[in-house]
Amino acid sequence: MRYYTFRKIAFAHKAAWQKLKFKAGKGYWLFGRKPKSPAPPTVMYDDVNLALIPKDAQAVAGYVGGHWPTFSRLRAMFPGARKRVSIAVSASEDADILDVESGDATNDQAAAWFKRQHIQRTPASHPGFYTSVSNVAALTDTLSQAGIPRSSYKLWTAHYTDVAHLCSSKCYRGMPTTADATQYTDHALGRSLDASVVTPAFFS
């Protein structure tokens, strides 16, 4: 343990997480445990052309139906991926995530789909929704009116800024929450490839 004769010298060496104490005959000393750094967000890739996704991707997502059903091939093509996320483009399909955007599922179909996932999958599962940042307020309001709180589902937003981020109220006026994942680009790694920042909560 190191002691400092003068308080101002001890403060000069003090980290934000440390506290300062004084011991007569010894001087000032610093103590405290450095907090663990949070795990960095994961980058998840998805594309209808699976050949564009890097082979060492840690997380990948694919569709269970629609014109480009890719999810069934993810395990074989990306055996090293720690997480594989399934996406439904229709409310009649079962998956981890429901795609709520023009041409796919609608806000009005979201609550019934969510409740069906809990029946057909497991009560402890946390299905979620993919939607544009501009639709988040309308979607979360529809779910809330159906008795489905924000804490019970995952939220994956689309907001193409080409800068990795998680959508929050800073991204769009009226955005009422913070996303668990955000698809921030559709040309990752210089390819026609979608990439998303994903928090650990998204995989729970």
Name the token pair of 197.
């920042």
User: Which pLDDT band holds residue 61 (cuts at 50, 70, 90)?
Assistant: very high
Domain boundaries, the chain: 1-37, 42-203
Size of the chain, expressed as the number of residues it contains: 204
Q: Is the pLDDT of residue 97 over 90?
A: yes
Rounded Cα–Cα distance for residues 158 and 65 (Å): 20
Q: What is the largest CA-CA distance in the chain?
A: 77
User: Which pLDDT band holds residue 124 (cuts at 50, 70, 90)?
Assistant: low
Say what percent of the chain tops pLDDT 90. 73
**CATH superfamily placement of domain 42-203:** Glycosidases (3.20.20.80)
Q: Is the pLDDT of residue 11 over 90?
A: no
DSSP symbols for 22-83: EETTTEEEEE--PPPPPPPPEEEEE-SSGGGS-TT-SEEEEESSTT---HHHHHHH-TT-SE
Look up residue 114 and give its DSSP letter: H
Residue-averaged pLDDT of the chain: 92
> Which residue has tokens 């300062």?
20
